[in-house]
């Protein structure tokens, strides 16, 4: 019961009767996490490819160096 001069009771937002909003938050969180993971994988593949390409160049360079000596 609320009386004048006192604060009304607070409702806990986590236990509110709106599970739709909670499930939407989870879905948005999962979507954001998937996008971040995809972006990370794209960067990882890009740099891994560059590293392999550099490694191949170094192998060719070493082979040329050995054959000239």
| Residues 14-52: tens digit of each pLDDT | 555 666 799 899 999 999 999 999 999 999 888 888 776
Structural domain contains residue 18: no
- Report the alpha-carbon angle 36-13-24, nearest 5: 35
Report the alpha-carbon distance of residue 45 to residue 64 in Å, rounded.
29
Structural domain contains residue 37: no
Structural domain contains residue 22: no
Residue 64, both tokens: 């040329």
Structural domain contains residue 17: no
pTM above 0.85, yes or no: no
Structural domain contains residue 49: yes
**What's the number of domains the chain is made of?**
1
Residue 24 has a pLDDT of 92
Residue 17 has a pLDDT of 60
Structural domain contains residue 16: no
Residue 52's domain spans which residues? 44-68
Structural domain contains residue 39: no
């Amino acid at each position: 019961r609320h009386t004048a001069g006192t604060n009304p009771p607070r409702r806990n937002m986590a236990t509110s009767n709106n599970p739709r909003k909670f499930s939407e938050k989870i879905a948005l969180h999962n979507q954001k996490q998937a996008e971040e993971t995809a972006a990370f994988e794209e960067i990882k593949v890009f740099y891994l490819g560059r590293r392999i390409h550099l490694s191949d160049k170094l192998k060719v360079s070493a082979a040329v160096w050995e054959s000239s000596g």
